[in-house]
Amino acid sequence: MRKILAMLLAVVMVLGLCACGGNNAATATTAATEAPVTEASAETEAPAETEAPATEASAAVTSADDIADEMTSSDGKYEIAFVTDVGQLKDKSFNQGTFDGVKLYAANAGKSYKYYQPAGGDQATDEDRYDAMKLAVENGAKVVVCAGFMQGTALQKAAEEFTDTRFVFIDGWALGLNNVAGIAFQEEQCGYLAGYAAVMDGYTKLGFTGGGGGANAACNRYGWGFVQGVDAAAAAKGVKCEINYSWLYGSSFQASNELQTMAAGWYQNGTEVVFACGGSMFQSVAAAASAEDAKVIGVDVDQSFESDTVITSAMKGIGQAAETALKAAESDDTWNAFIGDGATTITLGAKDNAVGLPTATWSLNGWTVEEYEQMLADIVAGKVVIDGSDVPEPASTDNVTVNIVK
């Protein structure tokens, strides 16, 4: 059974990463301000409601943009729930990418779905998150997908209380419970590829601005992988590189004037491209890059559709992982095969086709798709080894000067 689940996961990831370029926020509206959790919680700019999801007999839906963010079920119950991380639902990054997977699964499986945003916005507490999960269960959720590492404490409490409900913890970890699937990614691998690509394309003055204030393991891995990739490419080309590296203004993953001002200052002082790693933070960095005729590296999903400043994106299959976990939750056998004893985190990387760069929107001139695909294969084969440690403040290397900005 594990072999079957592994094959299913690999197939879904391949299709998901290939399709990512045309499916993430190309036509999405800007997110509205967050509201406390209520049964009527909704974004003011959400698409019109639909009375029912696609049925199993309908043609398969392949674009999340074709599925309304909200629907009304005939019995007022919602079988699939999504609890957002901090930031906006339509952040054109982590929340939106995960919810896209939830919507695609629900629409194609003929199930009702609903999203919940914890009260408090970017100041949400563990109790706010627990309340959102509790409301989801009370509204009929059989599976609750929770996005982001901040959900851990609340999810543990909810999963222990609502043992008949299954929980999917994206960017999380195993909780030792048989109703929780903890799914993590090897972000260091796609961060490495993004850093390598940037230097091969001729950039030597780079920046990294991350979310979570240095306490988010996923963002830490993205950043540390990025530094390693820059170092490797600099060595290959015989050049020296410099990286401004900061967690300042990223604790809430939100766009801010302060972040935009910092990024603009970097660009004005010679930084050529910044890896914007933190949900809605992208908006501030992209605005600064546009004003200064500079460049950005996106994160989580292909963000090239959001700004012509984007040269590439460090992607991971968050939506596809959510789809796969939801499919596994359809029966006891597939769920048990998927999570094992619940004590082991499901970690996805290049070997699972779960991380990479978007080739459908490739715009790099100094590094080809073929060269990228060879490096990806070398990572899978173990020929290129990338340290996946949780490193919040990387040190300088022989080829890279890292300037920690606080």
Average pLDDT per run of 10 along the chain, which is 406 residues long? Answer: 46 42 34 34 39 53 92 95 90 90 96 96 93 98 95 97 98 96 98 98 98 94 98 98 97 94 98 95 97 97 95 96 97 96 94 97 98 98 97 97 98
Q: What is the pLDDT of residue 39?
A: 36
Asked whether the beta carbons of 406 and 248 are under 8 A apart, the reply is yes
Q: What is the pTM of this model?
A: 0.85
**Residue with tokens 């991971």, as numbered in its chain:** 316
* pLDDT computed for residue 109 by the predictor: 96
C-alpha torsion sign, points 377, 380, 384, 388 = positive
372 close to 200: Cβ distance less than 8 angstroms? no
Residue 287 makes CB contacts below 8 A (sequence gap 6+) with 260
367: its two tokens: 């590094």
Q: Is 147 helix (H, G, I), strand (E, B) or coil?
A: strand
Q: 218 burial class (0-12, 13-18, 19+ CB within 10 angstroms)?
A: buried
Give the 3-state secondary structure percentages of the chain, helix then strand then coil, rounded to 5: 40, 15, 45
Structure-block tokens of residue 188: 């260091």
**Sheet of strand 180-185: strand arrangement:** 113-116, 80-83, 143-147, 166-170, 180-185, 346-348
